[in-house]
């Protein structure tokens, strides 16, 4: 059975392989040495493919590696670019560069989903799949060509076109974190009350009420508790913006 899956994973027609090789070469800016790394970077776990040792073949391990490389290269860029930045400042700025939202946007811009090998309907994927594949692609480039090629790819696709230090300084990556930090500093009590709220929709939704000092300051509804809390936090931030920014 293991050999069967291994054969499937490596049984693309020569025409499909040629098209994939061409698309990857355009995407990364060079001809890959080991195309199988990039096949794995674009394989979703729903395919249930394994290698000859029975290990799962999907982008998830490469995603882990790519995440580390993105963080390291962004950190090196900021260390050199902002010599006056202290550790806390550099950490926050790095988080903004490699935020899930940012990577999802880049993955969409590169149209990465079109190359994904999956047994799921691609319409059912959430936005995070774009960032996941992008990280896996970075991991594949690192294993294929090393740090220099990885750094060049990240500079060409993230830092040069998207990173502006002044704009990043003003970018909020989590309104919830910002609001909690303000409440703690001002010694205000806060509580997020969440409950399932499907309403007339077929999709499960969560509703959140945000209390500050026992007063409801914002409400929100989304497809996950985390999203609903962030949406409520954003609404609360703009409602209290003058107080927060003039603390």
Catalytic (active-site) positions:
67, 135
Give just the sign of the alpha carbon dihedral 9, 10, 15, 16.
Answer: positive
Distance CA 72, CA 64 (A): 13
Distance CA 124, CA 113 (A): 12
Q: Which long-range contacts (CB under 8 A, 24 or more apart) does 204-213 make?
A: 208/232, 210/179, 210/236, 212/183, 212/188, 212/236, 212/240, 213/188, 213/189
Q: How many residues does the chain have?
A: 247
Helix (H, G, I), strand (E, B) or coil at 211: strand
Query: Which ranges in 82-164 belong to alpha helices (H)?
Result: 87-97, 100-109, 128-145, 147-154, 160-162
Q: Which residues of 155-169 are buried (b: 16+ CB within 10 A; e: fewer)?
A: eebbbeeebeeeebe
And the tokens for 188? 């205000």
Helix (H, G, I), strand (E, B) or coil at 19: helix
């Amino acid at each position: 059975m293991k050999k069967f899956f291994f054969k499937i994973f490596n049984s693309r027609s020569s025409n499909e392989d040629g098209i994939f090789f061409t698309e990857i070469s355009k995407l990364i800016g060079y001809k890959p040495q080991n195309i199988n790394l990039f096949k794995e970077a674009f394989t979703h776990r729903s395919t249930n493919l394994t290698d000859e040792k029975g290990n799962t073949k999907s982008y998830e391990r490469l995603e882990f590696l790519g995440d580390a490389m993105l963080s390291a290269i962004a950190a090196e860029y900021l260390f050199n670019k902002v010599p006056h930045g202290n550790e806390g400042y550099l950490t926050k700025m790095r988080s903004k560069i490699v935020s899930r939202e940012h990577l999802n946007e880049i993955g969409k811009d590169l149209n990465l989903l079109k190359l994904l090998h999956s047994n799921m309907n691609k319409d059912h994927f959430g936005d995070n799949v774009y960032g996941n594949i992008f990280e896996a692609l970075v991991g594949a480039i690192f294993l294929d060509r090393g740090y220099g090629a990885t750094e060049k790819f990240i500079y060409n696709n993230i830092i040069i076109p998207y990173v502006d230090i002044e704009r990043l300084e003003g970018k909020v990556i989590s309104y919830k974190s910002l609001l909690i930090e303000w409440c703690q500093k001002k010694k205000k009590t806060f509580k997020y009350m969440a409950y399932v709220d499907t309403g007339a929709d077929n999709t499960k939704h969560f509703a959140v009420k945000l209390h500050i000092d026992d007063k409801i300051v914002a409400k929100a509804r989304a497809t996950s508790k985390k999203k609903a809390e962030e949406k409520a936090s954003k609404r609360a931030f703009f409602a209290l913006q003058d107080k927060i920014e003039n603390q």
